[in-house]
Amino acid sequence: MYENCDALALRRYPFSETSYVLTLFTREFGRVDALAKGARRRRNPLFGHFDFLAYEEITLFRRPRSGLDLATAAAFYSDFPRLRSVPARFAAAGIFAEILLAACQPSDPHRVLFDDLLATLRHLDAGGNIFTTATAGLLLMLRELGFAPRLHECVNCGATNVARAFLSPSRGGLVCENCAAAAPEFLLSRLDLARLRGEADGDARTLRTLKHYAEYVLGRELVSFHLFFRLMPRG
Ligand SMILES: [Zn+2]
């Protein structure tokens, strides 16, 4: 059965002399693995498509039993040219792709996540503050994946307006000074907290704290942060 979908290309491997195996994140079907036959041939209509993070309308011939659909047609919506031309912006987008690849399974659509991610990429493409956009985008992703940190009261005792707050990955959000216990818990200044809540522009320190949080809840190191922080050492 042929179906059209809106897709972001997450990964593309050469397969045979002429084809690619793709991993797509689609609005309609979530993660999709697909074979793009002939897409490495210059005269093929699929040539030049499925570049990393290209946003395209893709026609799939669905093959649920094989686990590998066929991508039979593609038309660009956007390939985010400005995002692509600034390495730090591109690296920030790479963090989101890594998380999607780690957290999304086939046949598990996440429409809100797709639209949030698209909005984040557009914002990066339009020149938005990189740390602020990356922080907000990461928090949106964590929320949609069910890992949003609670940032408005101590997750242990419920205290609000805490003087010294810590971000606790293992407890899923803020803890106050009285409830803070074992490492790894990360001290947050009032400004850090405002940054996490989207009330102030982001910076490197807050994003690093959020990286540790995301790595804990996702259960894996997020290696694309290394490149990002090499390109963007300061806030
Ligand atoms: Zn507390």
Residue environment code for 73-112, b if the CB has 16+ CB neighbours within 10 A, otherwise e: ebeeeebbeebbeeebbbbbbbbbbbbbeebbeeeebbee
Find the 92 Cα to ligand 1 centroid distance in Å: 33
Find the 164 Cα to ligand 1 centroid distance in Å: 10
The 10s digit of each residue's pLDDT in 112-150 is 999 999 999 999 999 999 999 999 999 999 999 999 999
Find the 153 Cα to ligand 1 centroid distance in Å: 8
Q: 106: which DSSP letter?
A: B
Find the 154 Cα to ligand 1 centroid distance in Å: 5
pTM comes to: 0.91
93/77 Cα distance (integer angstroms): 17
Tokens of 38: 């002939």
Domain positions in the chain:
2-79, 82-231
Give the residue-averaged pLDDT of 164-188: 88
The CATH number that domain 82-231 falls under is: 1.20.1440.120
Find the 218 Cα to ligand 1 centroid distance in Å: 24
Find the 19 Cα to ligand 1 centroid distance in Å: 56
Find the 142 Cα to ligand 1 centroid distance in Å: 23
Question: To which CATH superfamily is domain 2-79 assigned?
Answer: Nucleic acid-binding proteins (2.40.50.140)
The residue count of the chain comes to 235
The 10s digit of each residue's pLDDT in 6-26 is 999 999 999 999 999 999 999
pLDDT of residue 235 exceeding 70, the answer is no
* Residues 77, 57 contacting (CB under 8 angstroms): yes
Percent of the chain's residues with pLDDT above 90: 88
CA 119, 122, 126, 127: dihedral to nearest 10 degrees? 70
Find the 155 Cα to ligand 1 centroid distance in Å: 7
Find the 220 Cα to ligand 1 centroid distance in Å: 27
pLDDT of residue 162 exceeding 90, the answer is no
Give backbone dihedrals phi and psi of 54, rounded to 5 degrees, phi first: -65, 140
Residue with tokens 């982001």: 202
Find the 82 Cα to ligand 1 centroid distance in Å: 44
Give backbone dihedrals phi and psi of 199, rounded to 5 degrees, phi first: -95, -5
Find the 216 Cα to ligand 1 centroid distance in Å: 21
Average pLDDT value for the chain = 94
Find the 139 Cα to ligand 1 centroid distance in Å: 22
Find the 196 Cα to ligand 1 centroid distance in Å: 18
pLDDT of residue 164 exceeding 90, the answer is no
